[in-house]
Amino acid sequence: MKKWLYLLILVLAVAVGGCTSPLSLKSYVADGNSMSPTLNDGDKMLVSTDLSEEIKVNDLLIIKVNGKEYCKRVIGVAGDRIEAKEAGVYVNDRLLYKTDFMPDSVVKPEITLGENELYMLGDNIDNSLDSRMYGPIRRDQVIGRVTKVVPKK
């Protein structure tokens, strides 16, 4: 049954998504709630490994960090200034993510992202292992872009 579901998702994604090659698509299952409410534990994702289009702020990406794969949201690209303060995360001096508590271990001085660097956060900022801990992501750490989400039933 699961194989048929994945095949149906793949066929629909190709039909709706236009010219995306089926060979550039992978399926992933969300593990944990670091991206909640956007993604919840067990939700399925269809991911395009075709990264020829520019990566933009708000894209959901699958990235590889220290041998593990994560889904996170892009909040900063090359040239952006990022700072994690007690009140939240600032991008170009604008508060983007507010939090009630930012542990000292993730409070970081301002950085400016270099060429081919991305800053990634989980939507559930109070429960996410992300760039605040492991720093900016290099473009070569990106596996793919989430194109479809199928909620767990």
pLDDT tens for 75-106 read 999 999 999 988 899 999 999 988 877 888 88
Q: What is the pLDDT of residues 12-54, one digit of tens each?
A: 555 545 445 556 889 999 999 999 999 999 999 999 999 999 9
* Statement: residue 72 has pLDDT above 50: yes
Question: How far is residue 31 CA from its own chain's centroid?
Answer: 13
Q: What is the mean pLDDT of the chain?
A: 87
Expressed in angstroms, the distance from the first to the final Cα of the chain is 14
Structure tokens given for 124: 């559930």
Helix (H, G, I), strand (E, B) or coil at 61: strand
How far is 130 from 132, CA to CA, in rounded Å?
A: 5
How far is 89 from 75, CA to CA, in rounded Å?
A: 10
β strands within 49-141, DSSP E: 60-65, 68-76, 81-85, 88-91, 94-98, 108-112, 117-121, 137-138
**Model pLDDT, residue 19:** 47
How far is 68 from 22, CA to CA, in rounded Å?
A: 24
- Domain boundaries defined on the chain: 2-81+113-150
Enter the pTM of the model: 0.82
Give 2-81+113-150's CATH code, choosing from 2.10.109.10, 3.20.20.370, 3.40.630.30, 3.30.470.10: 2.10.109.10
Q: What angle do CA 114, 118, 122 make, to 5 degrees?
A: 150
**Model pLDDT, residue 1:** 56
**Model pLDDT, residue 153:** 78
Helix (H, G, I), strand (E, B) or coil at 42: coil
How far is 80 from 69, CA to CA, in rounded Å?
A: 24
80 touches 92 (CB < 8 A): yes
Considering all CA atoms of the chain, what is the largest pairwise distance in Å, rounded to the nearest integer? 50
How far is 113 from 43, CA to CA, in rounded Å?
A: 31
